[in-house]
Amino acid sequence: MTQPEKPQDLIFVESLVNLGLAMGVLITVEGVETEAHIALLREMKINYLQGYAIARPMEAEAVADFVRSFVLGVGDADTPMLALYQHLGWVRAAAESVMNHEDYEHTELAACPITTWLHAHASELPEVETSLAEHETVHILGREILQVRQSGTREELHRLLGQLHGHSHRFQEGLGQAVKDMRDNAAVAKAQPPPSENTH
């Protein structure tokens, strides 16, 4: 498994996982190589993980001791894809509430994992204010859907749903590009030689 870099990657992985869960099959993800992988896949309720993040190849006689002592960690939760996955959970719930005429539990902006992640990495993210504003708009629309569910019309709900999908898509695209730029900038900075010190 390669770490999902774009929201589309995350949606693709999630779709495969949901297909397996719907069919009632046990899911094993191979190539789990980072703590970020573990955090995301645990959130997706994957049954089995395999990869270097779990263990490196070992001699047969070492397996018994490894199994007795192994404890799977929670993984590194400081990843935008994990936060985005959690964020998209309530966005989907809002959309389903419109289609199924049911209420849903709205996640407030301050409690959304993406809010925490964006603020934690604000100094590294290009155009972070744009991402924050688009993210806030998505939450405002989610709250409006909940309110209109109480007293509004079906036409109003579908109008809000269209806006929710549009802003959510723009936010995901913008976040994906911002994270890519952030990582590219970090790689360039790491590759640059340290400044030389003039000694006289």
pLDDT for residue 197: 59
Check: CB of residue 36 under 8 Å from CB of residue 81.
yes
Largest interatomic CA distance in the chain: 78
Least confident of 109-123, 137-151, 185-199: 185-199
Q: Residue 46 is encoded by which pair of tokens?
A: 């994957």
Which residues fall within 8 angstroms of residue 130, CB to CB, at 6 or more apart? 174
Nearest to 53 by CA among 80, 78, 74: 74
Q: What average pLDDT does the structure give for the chain? A: 79
pLDDT for residue 70: 64
pLDDT for residue 132: 92
pLDDT tens per residue across span 109-132: 888 888 888 888 888 888 889 999
Q: What is the model's pTM?
A: 0.64
Q: Residue 8 is encoded by which pair of tokens?
A: 């589309």
**C-alpha to C-alpha distance for 89 and 76, rounded to whole angstroms:** 20
Instruction: Name the CA radius of gyration of the chain, rounded.
Output: 21
pLDDT tens per residue across span 94-107: 888 877 777 777 88
Quick one: what percent of the chain has pLDDT higher than 90? Answer: 9
Quick one: what percent of the chain has pLDDT higher than 70? Answer: 86
Which residues fall within 8 angstroms of residue 94, CB to CB, at 6 or more apart? 104, 106, 141, 142, 145, 146, 161, 164
